[in-house]
Amino acid sequence: MVLHVVIDDGKEVRADNPFVFCAEGADGLSPSSFAERFEANLGLLEQGLTLPATDDDDAAVQATRKAVSRLQAFIAAQTRIHASGDLGNKRRAGTLGSHNMESVHWPLHFKALPHESVKFSPLAIGWMQSKGVVNAAAFAQEAATGHIAGASKEVSLALQRPAKDLLAMPLCPHLVDDHGLVLSVHPLSNGWQTRTTEDARGSLLLECSSAQSEAVCRRMLMALIKDAIGLIEGPHSELPDQGFKVRVLAEPVEVVCEWDHGQRRALFPSHEEILSLPAFSDGCKSVKISSSRPRSDSTSSSSSSGSSSSGSSSADSDGYK
């Protein structure tokens, strides 16, 4: 499913495309000025440098630190859901994936192919041009030993059991976009190119896969959505100087049959699941948004095991929670 982060005044959504983890921007800076300084600060951090020491009046530096902290909290929420005995059960029951929507080309396809034929860039080892591209069989075999070159000991140990589970499957389940880019190989790793980053703008794609049941996917995704709402629509979500508020809008996605798009496999979230999400603090029920993506159907391969909540969202749908 897709989470949109927008700024609205209760009547309409502002046209700009805010940063997911810092949608409120910074006081005293226009959206364009803030974006320039925010991305420059992130560039320093990516190079291993520290942000310049400033006083509390540097709003852009404060906002950058907030975005980094919120992304870390979002990742920690996924880790907690994966570890929970009644949800992911240490990735044995299900695995989540989150992706920057700007990096994804629709529709999406859930496939299952021989492990050796699935080539991707695992998030665990980062992007190293051609050295970062591996086939799922080789990466899973390495991960099954409990040691992954380029990954921390903690990450290596966390992926050891999922790697063994993946190797035990007759085929390798994975999610790809319409350009053939592998978003995730379940239950092992997300892809590097579509990873969720501090500078994600507008929307995030959330997906989940389980070898047990669709119900597991739904529970895990609902838990993550609620955590994301609390994180993004926190006390900082109101912009008193402008009268705007930050909103998280949930856009349902549909999974359909590969050879017959008229056969729906799943819809997430359902109407009932949407109504179970926290209400807007000011009583607002919904906000109309328009998707820039063309109307299209996502496909799900019947040869895969388990179920996936990934899919294509319909354009011009009501985003609400």
- 191-222 pLDDT, tens digit each: 999 999 999 999 999 999 998 999 999 999 99
> Where do the structural domains in the chain lie, given as residue ranges?
2-107+195-319
Question: Under a CB-based contact definition with an 8 Å cutoff, are residues 144 and 163 in contact?
Answer: yes
The confidence band for 86, taking pLDDT boundaries of 50, 70 and 90, is very high
- Pick from 274, 272, 273, 256: which is nearest to 311 by CA? 256
List phi, psi (to 5°) of 106.
-90, 155
Where is pLDDT greater, at 298 or 170? 170
Residue 165 has pLDDT above 70, yes or no: yes
**Residues in the chain, total:** 321
The pLDDT value given to residue 15: 63
For residue 122, say if its preceding peptide bond is cis, omega within 30 degrees of 0. no
The confidence band for 308, taking pLDDT boundaries of 50, 70 and 90, is very low
* Side-chain half-sphere exposure of 303, counting CA atoms within 13 A: 13
Opening angle at CA 195, ends 191 and 200, nearest 5: 160
Token digits of residue 56:
């509390």
The confidence band for 233, taking pLDDT boundaries of 50, 70 and 90, is confident
Q: How far apart are CA 95 and CA 85, in angstroms?
A: 13
H or E stretch at 109: strand 109-113
Residue 289 has pLDDT above 60, yes or no: no
DSSP 8-state code for residue 101? G
Residue 294 has pLDDT above 50, yes or no: no
Q: What is the mean pLDDT of residues 105-119?
A: 96
Please list the residues that pair with 99 across neighbouring strands: 195, 205
Question: Under a CB-based contact definition with an 8 Å cutoff, are residues 48 and 276 in contact?
Answer: no
- 3-57 pLDDT, tens digit each: 999 987 666 677 678 999 999 888 788 888 999 999 999 999 988 888 877 655 6
* Average pLDDT across the chain, whole number: 83
- Pick from 8, 2, 193: which is nearest to 106 by CA? 2
Token digits of residue 313:
């969202």
Entry pTM = 0.85
DSSP letters of 176-190? E-TT--EEEETTTEE
The amino acid occupying position 251 is E
**How far, in whole angstroms, is CA 108 from its chain's centroid?**
14
Ranking 64-73, 108-117, 142-151 by mean pLDDT, the lowest is 142-151
